[in-house]
Amino acid sequence: MKSIKYFIQNLFILLLILVIGCKKEPPIILPEISTTVITNITNTSATSGGTITNDGNSPIWSRGVCWSINENPTVLDNKTSDESGIGVFTTSITGLTPNTTYYVRAYARNSQGLNYGNEVCFTTKNFSPALSEMLNSLPNIISWEIANLQGLIERNPGVAVLIQEKIDMLKRPALYNEIIEGNFFAEDSVTSVNGRHIPIIAVFPLEIMRHDASQSVTWIKNALPILENFMKTQMRYNYERIWYGFIIGNKGGGGAAYMEDKYTYESRTTPNRLPYEAILYHELSHSYIGNESLNQFLEVYIYNIIHTGSTDIQLWTYLRQPYTAYKAGNTGVYALFDIYQLIGHDGMSEAYKELYSLNPMYGEPLSTECKQVFINQAPENQKNNVSAILEAAKL
């Protein structure tokens, strides 16, 4: 009996060895991959990628996308080389030609060989150079404005809800692609005093802002020649950028105006608010002058030249607040209104031309040299009056 028992045990072990020894490894096949829909399309770049759902029982050691102007692109055409492994991957396609149709396929390679995903096609944009430059900087603008808005919440509890709504909008992952694909921008141009072509571009984050953003472009187009003529100096920047609706509040300078959207501005302010159009002129003028009072004068001047066609302050319909000429205690822009009437339009224009070269800064009082510019433009019988106004005014 014992020998039979040992025989059965040995037979079982032998059978087990045979079973284990005969177990086959799964066959190695080509990987399974699909191509991602193209997004973030610009003049010269786009975003693509793929999804590897099966590695074919062999490690993926090469993956990416390939593209060509012809159908069925291969890795012998243009390609990216991304990290290995299965799952979803994203990659950037660069070095493209504007207004050109491209065909794209994702690819993956394992020890069995190379396989391609489905083919997708897209056409690059044909944006102007100025717009392309703005859109290239858009991700940075979004990041900067999120940080700026987050810093505003604690200091502005009355509009904290509006600020948070703006932050939430800017944080949406799809925002950049929505702006590109939705053509959320408006373009026009104006001829500078020296004949130079100056593009004016507004980029905005929501379709609902299109009308007012386009209106802002028109306002700038009307205002810029007036500003150049008054300053007797051409705009130094290649184009005027309007980042419309990305912030709460307004700021400008350096050839750019960062504007709160008109609807939000008017919904959070009282009926005696400054006209939105005038605020836009104010921020435009900061590309010439930093000092706030000097800039407020330019804002008022441009607005009234457009709406009244007159350089006579007596005919102006917008003066920021009620103004009484030569009133004791007139300060800031109201002191400048007094000076304007004493030295005349041409004298004020010449003064601003000189001030531009002196670069009076935002947040700083006017230097003695800057104040002397106004005195120099006054008639002899008004120099003392201009000097007295400058002495009393907080400029």
pLDDT tens per residue, range 308-321: 999 999 999 999 99
In 154-291, which residue ranges form alpha helices assigned H by DSSP?
A: 160-170, 175-181, 210-231, 262-268, 276-285
How many domains does the chain divide into?
3
**Length of the chain, in residues:** 395
Q: Is the same domain home to 277 and 230?
A: yes
- As a whole number of angstroms, the distance between CA 330 and CA 297 comes to 14
According to DSSP, the β-strands at 197-203 and 240-244 are parallel
- Residue 17, in any domain of the structure: no
Residue 96 within a domain: yes
pTM of the model: 0.84
Distance CA 128, CA 130 (A): 5
Residue-by-residue pLDDT tens, the chain, 395 positions: 555 655 556 555 555 555 555 556 789 999 999 999 999 899 999 999 999 999 999 999 999 999 999 999 999 999 999 888 899 999 999 999 999 999 999 999 999 999 999 999 999 999 999 999 999 899 999 999 999 999 999 899 989 999 999 999 999 999 999 999 999 999 999 999 889 999 999 999 999 999 999 999 999 999 999 999 999 999 999 999 999 999 999 999 999 999 999 999 999 999 999 999 999 999 999 999 999 999 999 999 999 999 999 999 999 999 999 999 999 999 999 999 999 999 999 999 999 999 999 999 998 999 999 999 999 999 999 999 999 999 998 78
Are 213 and 281 members of one domain? yes
Specify whether 167 is located in the same domain as 218: yes
Q: Do residues 161 and 195 both lie within one domain?
A: yes
**Which residues touch 269 (CB under 8 Å, ≥6 apart)?**
none
Query: Are residue 274 and residue 315 in the same domain, yes or no?
Result: no
Residues 226 and 88 in one domain: no
277 and 341 fall within a common domain: no
Nearest in space to 293 (alpha carbons), one of 216, 387, 377, 360? 360
Within-domain flag for 302: no
Angle (deg, nearest 10), helices 210-231 and 332-358: 70
Together in a domain, 119 and 134: no
Task: Say which CATH number the domain at 96 has.
Answer: 2.60.40.10
Nearest CA-CA partner of 230 in 333, 313, 347, 332? 347
Q: Report residue 381 as tokens.
A: 């019988």
- Kindly state whether residues 157 and 254 are assigned to the same domain: yes
Domain boundaries, position 282: 127-288
Q: What is the pLDDT of residue 395?
A: 84
User: Whole-angstrom Cα distance, residue 289 to residue 286?
Assistant: 5
* 48 lies in the same domain as 113: yes
My answer on whether 151 and 108 are in the same domain is no
Give strand ranges (E) for the chain: 32-35, 46-54, 62-68, 78-79, 87-93, 101-110, 113-123, 185-191, 197-203, 240-244, 250-253, 256-259
